[in-house]
Structure 1
Amino acid sequence: MARTPPLWMLLPLLWASTGAWTEKVSVRAPAEVYSFLSYTAKLPCSLRPLEPNTTEVTQITWLRQEPSGKRRIVAAFHPLRGPHVSEPDRDRMEFAAARQGANPLDGSLTIHRMRPEDEANYTCEITTFPWGTGSASTWLRLFYAPQVSISRSDVPGQQGRKETILTCDVRSNPEPKGYEWSTTTGPLPSSAVPQGSRLLIQPTEESINTTFICRVSNAVGTGQAARRVLLPAPTAKEVVAVWAPGEVHGFLGDTVKLPCNLRFPESKPQNVTQITWKRILESGHVMFTAAEWGHNLLDASLSVHRLHPEDDANYTCEITTLQEGSYSATTWLRVFYAPQVFISRSDTTGQQGRYETTLTCNARGNPEPKSYDWNTTMGSLPPSAVPQGSRLLIQHTEESINATFICHVSNDLGTGQAAMRVEFPAVQQLH
């Protein structure tokens, strides 16, 4: 039975004059096309010659913009030699209407069995005689439920103790709405602290033999993954422990305190010889952030002033005692802030020297940005500028461009913006 997309996905194709116009020929394509994982998508592209009886198509070329910014030819059609599709997409792409031996005015491309990596900007270029080349671009947006896997890392401590971090690795479109951690037997044990996409499993006096589940949802559906964790019980002498909260929250520019205390029974008093704070970066590198004292200090709490986005990390407090050695506990410091935004630019060159300019709105914030809005200092966008989420595609036409483009990005805490001026001359008409 055929699957029915959600109602919010049943959007009309946004057709616009996105083609590069010459005096005699233009190419039309929708600014966006929507599809779903494993579905079939059609990228419409048609020639609109002003003088059809005197226009002969000599070649149709489809190009895809790769993540590096470069454009790669994925398919081409020649009226005499027929179609050619590049590997590895030869068995998934085909021209929908163009046929060998005819004058193909319809260059639409069909893509079967959609994959996540198919989401990209596609440019349809149609070369004609005698009027030259026209082109138009389409952003193929692929929507799919979360694809989930769980990775594990262990932070070893002294005396054989360790902390385990499970990370829920997800790719999806749209972005995940939330992460839910559980086990095959129900709720999490008290030693497991959920931290968004991460689960911190702290050492306890009990062994752990549990299968943990990460469930992730977005507007399309839900995905999940499971991973079994087996941790032996500590030795009997490990009655000394370091306590720290699972999470501490702070805002950009604030000062926060990361609590850390040594706990031990009255029958086993401890003399602290060293306190060490470590920050675990995403790269896995460990950086020392605090030092040692030469006197007995049972409270090893650390204050972090003037919080930066880079301060968002796992912090490990390690306390060394003369009697028992070293013990540690980990806290996730979460730093929340409105989006910080900057714009980058890339220019690509098509056939016949035609250009396209792509502005990318790069934003970071916590929580993640919810929306991207484009305009100019003069108000609305010009017709040649097509917003594509965090990207803005500006096509070079007979009209010159001299405008300052603004990207506004919002999350639950506020809005950030950045601006970039773009200037280029009009495309010369062919006579």
Structure 2
Amino acid sequence: MLVEMDDGKSGYVGSKVDLRCRFINSNPPVKISQVTWQKLANGSKQNVAIANPSLGVSVAPPYRDRVTFKNAAVRRRTPTLEDTTIVFSSLRLSDEATYICEYTTFPAGNRENTVNLTVYVRPTTQMSLSTPTLVARSSNLKTPVATCISANGKPPGTIRWETRVPGEVTTREYINSDGTFTVQSDYILVPSRETHRETLTCVTTYNEEVYTDSVTLDIQYEPNVMIDGFDGNWYLNRENVQLSCQADANPVVSLYQWRLVNNSIPSNVEIRDNVLLFKGPITYEVQGTYVCDATNSIGTSSAFVEVSVLGKVHAGRFYEELPNTADYVSYRLACNKEDYPEPYSPPINPPLSFLPQQPYHPSQTMPVLGTSSASTPSKNTFAPPTHTTAVFKYPSVPGLSSPPPGVGPYTFPKEQYV
């Protein structure tokens, strides 16, 4: 004879769980006089339910609405008590205990067994920013930026963080009065402009169940300012130039202010919020250090640019005909020289893709400037002299001599020929 039960059973608060109890009778069988279910709490036994062949079934008041015998045969007028499994419905945290199923038999006496009932409580998880407003400060102090909580769970949950943002984690565990646990984890970092809009994900694990929640950091910071528009080539009488003040800020910039160090903004300069428009041809009067101050609710930041005006165009370009030795292609060559204005940019004519339709005739002669040596051309092949030169002709510019004083003719090496 023996009483057969499970080693352990478990269930979540509010759920239903069966506590199995079966009597394996002897041969010949003994008579079952009564079956008693008891809860072992603090070293003492408390009756839960009783099944008696003569008196029927009774359930103790604390369990009357939640405990029943699963086998209907137990509740008959002539019951069968070999299987006296009971069912807990609406499981409570206080139901966690060791339960005893005891059979009273005649003439063998009492036989019993026990089962441990474990009650789990799913925690509630919550994630939030640690403070309503996170501000980047110059002090670089570390501060909790996000908090993840696994509350009122049994057993306690575990928390970990997933993010690209480097930081530190502090985790604390609390035991509540009802035996549940609350776990709180804080993510700590230095709030900065770089961490704005980064994502923090809290991963909570409970009894192999995984929960995730995320927040996006909203870091407020003062403007990060820069000035665009000055390219270092603002020459006298240049038009259509401007300076633009660009600011990255959270919250957005509410006020832009322009100023010229040690001077006032010239009259031909118009201020349009974050833009300075220089009207008409620029003069030397616009030179100076321009400062842009950008302000939001966190603070004010500045940027400056030193504007200088050139008297002449930087790195002029010149064009002149380059005679081709074969006398069938001509084109214009652009050559950078200092201190000479660029009057125009003539198109290449004919295009560089132009090729002669007739082969080079060996009887042709080449007009060459400077010294040259004899050459032996082959059929349908142009072979220039071993050292051929051509003189660059400077353009005619009013007020300037060609070539300028002190500048000799420019000699092109043979590689310049097509």
Q: Normalized against structure 1, the TM-score is what?
A: 0.37
Q: Normalized against structure 2, the TM-score is what?
A: 0.38
Which structure: greater strand fraction?
1
* Structure whose CA Rg is larger: 2
Higher RCO (CA 8 Å, separation ≥ 6 residues): 1
